[in-house]
Amino acid sequence: MDLQNTSLTGLRQLLDSRSISAPELADAYLDRIRTVDDTLLSYITVTPEEARAQAQKAQARIDAGSAAPLTGIPLAIKDNLCTDGVRTTCSSRMLEDFVPPYDATAVEKLKAQDFVMLGKASMDEFAMGGSNQTSAFAKTRNPYDTSCVPGGSSGGSAAAVSAGLCAAALGSDTGGSIRQPAAFCGVTGLKPTYGRVSRYGLVAFASSLDQIGPIAHSARDCGILLSAIAGQDPRDATSAAQPVPDFNEKVGKSLKGMKIALPKEFYGDAVDDEVKEAVLAAAKTYASMGAELVDCSISTLKYAVAAYYLIASAEAASNLSRFDGIKYGLRGEGKTFDQMIRDSRSRGFGDEVKRRILLGNYALSSGYYDAYYRKALALKQEFIQEYDRIFQTADIILTPTAPTVAYPIGQQDQDPVKMYTADICTVTVNIASLPAISTPCGYNKAGMPIGMSLIGRRFDEATLIQAADAFEQGFTVIPAKPEGGAAK
């Protein structure tokens, strides 16, 4: 069975037609994990017992003729989403032994459909990073070339989907953490509108930016998964009181007359030529479908990375203050209260997390709050207004997902600022609370995937899925070859 290319719809048909049973499908994925994941390290925790028990329950539902879209479908869950009775580490020593007594709302909704959880996918520690190499437990590798990073922070989820180690996965996106690894690993990732999916049970990084979303083989699959997890939640005051539509309702409809904006700042010298050429070629493909290309500008883009890291780091410093080894996290040693906390946080947090806590506390400190943090919040309003202006004359916006393809492991370890600036193509979406989807649009000379992003109006994920699907129908995906270690 070709686990790397079978869609959620295809798996649904196989299960409902009894061509394969839910337990057999779960075992097929578990076997592939055993075969491939020692090389990729996409999972921190694999849950075969839970998966088989859930598969048996799903099969009973299928046999009763009451299957939901995700009944019996094997998925991976990013390890910052709480799972009742299953370890949730956030890839950090601080939470190495944390076993939640409850499920995140998104996981709860998947369980209501009797999905099958294969395990918890690796990530950058507390979702802080763009390479998946800040993980304390499993530094995931790219399925297309295991000498390269898979992207981050949802690198484990993206690599697992790309390598056929799950049918689809949940990730979280604070500044591109679904879209960038999806681009690096040659799959599709959707960052929903802020508030579309409840954040209850998501271990917070930056509360005003975090959003849970799907990573899958296609835009249609992302729509199926988003339909399952979206909706208002009384346990999350930031979840939006918006109806949950059929996110695939526009799939297959003509793009004739759709206006697609291309902001010139996203196609500058900072973007590799091969990436730029692939995305602009995709724009021409859209034009051949009847879409109208519109030139535009986002003049404030040069401030995006600085504004994002000030806001995100300030919120991270606040959110992570609770991890002191007493209320939460690794228990420190010492004769005094201060010594215990210092030891807990020194040993529990990795370098990148410590760096962002320091930056965030600095930005929030007396004398610097107005100079930095308040100005970053003012820029947030500027970005919202810039996007509103573009959407007055365009339906969606097309940009590269990342300035480069996946880079070699270790290349940026000693230069965190270079890694931060690589987020230039993704962070404004989170700052402005917009939805965006990344899908493959080409490959460079070395065979590494190139991703393009479509950005839409708030709560208009259906149009993004429509446009991404239209492109995907004419694009041939070159599957990764993780068993060989690299694509050839």
> Which residue is it, tokens 């068993």?
483
DSSP 8-state secondary structure symbol assigned to residue 148: B
Q: Which residues share a beta bridge with 408?
A: 148
Task: Give me 419's structure tokens.
Answer: 């890694």
Nearest to 432 by CA among 396, 380, 378: 380
List residues with catalytic annotation. Answer: 78, 153, 177
Upper half-sphere CA count for residue 180 (Cβ side, 13 Å)? 35
> Do residues 179 and 453 make contact, with C-beta atoms less than 8 angstroms apart?
yes
> Do residues 148 and 409 make contact, with C-beta atoms less than 8 angstroms apart?
yes
Chain centroid to Cα 113, Å, comes to 22
**Strands of 259-263's sheet, edge to edge?**
43-46, 116-121, 74-78, 168-173, 211-216, 188-191, 436-443, 449-456, 396-400, 259-263, 292-296
- In degrees rounded to 5, what are phi and psi of residue 471? -70, -45
- In degrees rounded to 5, what are phi and psi of residue 307? -65, -45
Rounded Cα gap, residues 143 and 10, in angstroms? 23
**Cα 308 to Cα 380, 382, 451, distances in angstroms:** 9, 13, 22
Element housing 33 (H / E): helix 22-40
Helix count (H) and strand count (E) of the chain? 15, 11
Rounded Cα gap, residues 97 and 87, in angstroms? 7
Contacts of 49 (CB under 8 A, 6+ apart): none
> Do residues 258 and 396 make contact, with C-beta atoms less than 8 angstroms apart?
yes
Q: The dihedral of CA 476, 480, 483, 488: what is its sign?
A: positive
Task: Give me 424's structure tokens.
Answer: 């230039």
Chain centroid to Cα 475, Å, comes to 22
Rounded Cα gap, residues 71 and 344, in angstroms? 41
> Which residue is it, tokens 């959003």?
211
- Residue 231 region, left (φ>0) first, then alpha (ψ -120 to 50), else beta? left
> Do residues 150 and 200 make contact, with C-beta atoms less than 8 angstroms apart?
no
Q: What share of the chain is helix, strand, coil (3-state, %, to 5)?
A: 40, 15, 45
